Structure formats: C-alpha cells, structure tokens
Structure 1
Amino acid sequence: MKIKLLLSLFCVILLSSCYNQERNCKDFKTGKFKFEHEINGKKQTTYFERNDSIEVETFEGKTDTSSIRWINDCEYILKKINPKNMQEQKAVHMKILTTNDNTYTFEFSIVGDNNKQKGTVTKIN
C-alpha cells in the first residue's frame, strides 16, 4: 500500500513539474497597457504605450518616455530618455514571466540590483 502511495505521489510531482506556464510575449511587445498597483494603501494606475523601441508612460498626469532594448522576446531594458534625477538614470530590467489572454505577469528590478518586484499588466487595445 505504501509503495502505491509513493508511486502515485511521485507521478503527480513528475507531471506537475513538466507543466510550463504560457508565455506569448510577442503579443505584448507593442500596444497600449495599464498597470494597477498600490502605493501607501491607495490604488494607482499607470498607463503606457509601447512600440519596438520606445515606451511612453503616464502616471498622475505626468508623462515620461523611455527607450527599450529587447534582450529576447520576454525581457527588455528600460532607460529614461530625459531623467530628472540620479534614480531615474538607472536602467530597469523587465521580464515577462507568464501571459494569459490580455494580461501578463512580470518582474522588474534596477539593473544590477537583486531586489525584484512583481506586477500584472493588462493590454487595453
């Protein structure tokens, strides 16, 4: 009985480890998007539009433009074109982890920093 249970458990673990999350990153390389996040307990929304080389972001009525350098279909580096301070001069590494219909989950960090954060973006066109 124990051997059957162990064999069944092994098969479940083996099959679940073979499951890959869907990543259709090419569907999200260009378009209009929104990113909802929480800052100090308040829900905020950032809107952005991206083409192959530029991303224009609008947050709280302010617009910023960043250049995009694609590493592969699911990873890219964002760098502000007109940074206003030292923090904005730092490039950001973006990585799409999973995609689903019109959303994707991503992680991001300052290039060279191990502190990664995650979020979900919705494509709105």
Structure 2
Amino acid sequence: MPDRDPLIRVTAMPADTNPYGGVFGGWLMSQMALGAGSLASRVGKGKAVVVSATDFAFPGAMAVGDELSVYCEIAATGTTSLTITAEGIARERNGEATVKVAQGTFKFVLLDENDRPREVAL
C-alpha cells in the first residue's frame, strides 16, 4: 500500500459491476472524481467543479468486495483551476495484496458564491 493517506476508501459492491461481472470502469472514475473533488475543495477552500477528466487508464482489475483507496495530488495550479492526478488502488477482500486499478487526471475550476470562477489562493 502506498505510504500516503487515501482521500476516500470504499468497498466495491455487486451493483458496481459491468455485464461481465467485473467492477465497472465508470464506477472507478466516479470514486476517483469524488476523491479529487475532496482535495480540490479543501485546497481551494470552497466550491470546485470538474471541467475535464483525461488520461484514464485501467491497468488492473478488482472484484466485488475489494476495497478501493483513492490517492490524489495536485499536479498543476492555474489562475482559477487545479489539475489533480488520481490513482485507484484495490486491496483484496480477505488479504493484503494490492493492485493499481485506475489512474487519471481531473481539472477543477474554483467558483465563488455566485458560481463564477475565482482565483486560486494557496
């Protein structure tokens, strides 16, 4: 397991599978977006919305019951945006074996109380 704290941790359930019985890539992307959004809101100190999601890859597979941990870090800061890389690591249900199952990049724009872009103040 990486030597860092996950932004979120969740267990894959039967409803999260695709027609072939594997965990659906869309579910993985949504969990990663939640983790990245948590970091964007915390660092940006307010409302942050996704404006793009790119560079996704699914190098491994996870099964129902496996635990997904989402790790994120800021890759770049713009005038009103934060670019965040996300990585999903699955841990087998009844053990300690882990595998990277997803990675991708999200761009968030920070918004003010009127939902207008505001500057990043780090």
Alignment TM-score > 0.5, same fold: no
Identify which of structures 1 and 2 has the higher relative contact order when contacts are C-alpha pairs closer than 8 Å and 6+ apart: 2
Which has the greater radius of gyration?
A: 1
TM-score for the superposition, normalised by structure 2 = 0.32
